[in-house]
A and B are shown apart, each in its own frame.
Chain A
Amino acid sequence: MRFLPALAVVFTVTLATAACAADDANRVTVFTASSLTDVVDDLAERWKAAGGSEVVAVLGGSNHLAAQLRDGAPADAFLTADVDLLDGLLSNPAPADLVRGFAYNHLVVAMPSDGPGRNPGDLHNRDLVLVVCAQGVPCGDATWARFGDLPVDSLEPSARAVVTRLDLGEADLGIVYATDVAARPGLVEAWPHDPACPCVAYSAAALTDRGRSFLAFLDTPAARDVLAGHGFVTEPPS
């Protein structure tokens, strides 16, 4: 019975967390593409200040989240980096259930601020450690479409994971979003990106009434301010 105290601790913690989870009547659960990690908290804060509800952001790769939603995960809204993932989630959506392209993002080649990248030819330099997103996740599909076959050293499950590899200095070059570089003081763009090509468009879907009111907020100047403040493009590319 020596483990009884430990068991009691586990039990109490479980109860406490369960109690927290039960108090969700006024919360809006938003499944959020991981590249929106930094901005979603600010969006939530601004919405709450404007009379909205508490937002619980569940972060992950867009297609992981989509798979969870298809399996019945409870969410009120879904912010995805790939609009095609909404197929089969929304049958016959009303206009208020879907916001296409509420933000856009550039794909950039990033490196640690003391990194060795000089020009686009370095992407094909096998002596440099290059890490990108795996095919199948939005940033990976966009990377393939934009850069083609590269001598890659690891395929990561999200752009965030690529950022971490760069942050830790394990990778020399990584292909991530412009907003990721803007958010990390230790990272720089290895060379300027093509301003004409925002490679990824974010779309939002409402799955419940509460989600619908969050979507309505996304379509306001206040929300666009927050997004632009984090480096997202809010105008559709011409």
Chain B
Amino acid sequence: MAVVGITVLALPLVGLVQRAPWTSLGDLLGRRPVLESLRVSLTVSLVTAGVVLVLGTPLAWVLARVEMPFRRLVRALVVLPMVLPPVVGGTALLFALGRRGLVGQWLDRWFDVALPFTMAGAVVAAVFVALPFYVVTVEGALRTTGDEMEGLAATLGAPPLTVLRRVTLPRLVPAMGAGLALAWARALGEFGATITFAGNLPGRTRTLPLATFQAMESDPEAALALSLVLLAVSLAVLIPTRNRWLPTR
């Protein structure tokens, strides 16, 4: 059964690699549409990583350290996008932030801001799906390290900001790095929420996964090449975070 399990996971990857157009790979990847979607993907996923860092760190800290009512409910809410089908997330975003959405209609009316069909919209969709990966990783690290060191530093007279800067953050950096890598990879692979909420336009919102989907309509070879790029990136993310997922023994 274990062998069957491995096969289920490995077989599609083998299929992808053996059908890969290795000889024309360079040519396929050098085409303008591919480079364009690579640029969109990198921009969207890196901005997403920045937003995730800024929003996710305080959120993880609050979840790990602050006693509050309904904490389990809040945590469930944070984790939900990890299990929610992304296309549902995109639909929800549309009804919340779309031009006629709950909040979106006011954004449109007051600030003339419309998120759908913009790169900012693609970032919003990616943050929605990627944030939980960062928060869960960092919150877990905060819990396992405990707060004794902080308490000790405080009794020795360190002001709260110094405690944060000199004690809490340095010990948290590895987890933040790992969480960020996971969130970035999730953002890079995001498809359902992006196409539902942000649409699909070359150079603006067509990310690598959307380009792959589009290429399957007309040019399966190009789709294979794009899939290989995404596979390589996913593997690259596993390397810096390997200590978290792969036992070193």
Contact = CB atoms under 8 A, between A and B. Distances in A.
A125 interface: no
A63 B215 CA distance: 12
Q: From A153, A157, A170, name the one whose CB has the most chain B CB atoms within 10 angstroms.
A: A170
Contacts of A136: 214, 217-218
Interface majority SS on A: helix, strand, loop or mixed?
A: loop
Contacts of A153: 117, 199, 201
A153 B122 CA distance: 13
B11 to A, nearest CB: 16
A208 B214 CA distance: 30
Contacts of A113: none
Nearest to A135: B218
Interface string A118-161: 00000000000101001111000000000000001111110000
Contact of B200 (A61, A155, A170): A155
A149 to B, nearest CB: 12
A170 B94 CA distance: 9
Interface residues of A, number: 20
Contact of B117 (A63, A67, A170): A170
Interface in A164-179: 165, 168-170
B89 interface: no
Contacts of A169: 98-100
Interface in A19-46: none
A137 B217 contact: yes
Contacts of A61: 217
B114 interface: yes
Interface in B189-224: 195, 199-202, 205-206, 213-214, 216-218
Contact of B217 (A64, A152, A154, A168): A64
A170 B218 CA distance: 27
A165 B195 CA distance: 12
Nearest to A137: B217
Given A135-B218, A165-B199, 16 more contacts: A61-B217, A63-B218, A64-B217, A129-B99, A131-B117, A131-B199, A134-B214, A136-B214, A152-B201, A153-B117, A155-B199, A157-B213, A168-B98, A169-B99, A170-B94, A170-B117
Interface of B: 94, 98-100, 114, 116-117, 195, 199-202, 205-206, 213-214, 216-218
Interface of A: 61, 63-64, 67, 129, 131, 134-137, 152-157, 165, 168-170
By Cβ-Cβ distance, the 8 closest A-B pairs, closest first, are A154-B199, A136-B217, A169-B100, A136-B218, A153-B117, A170-B116, A155-B200, A154-B117
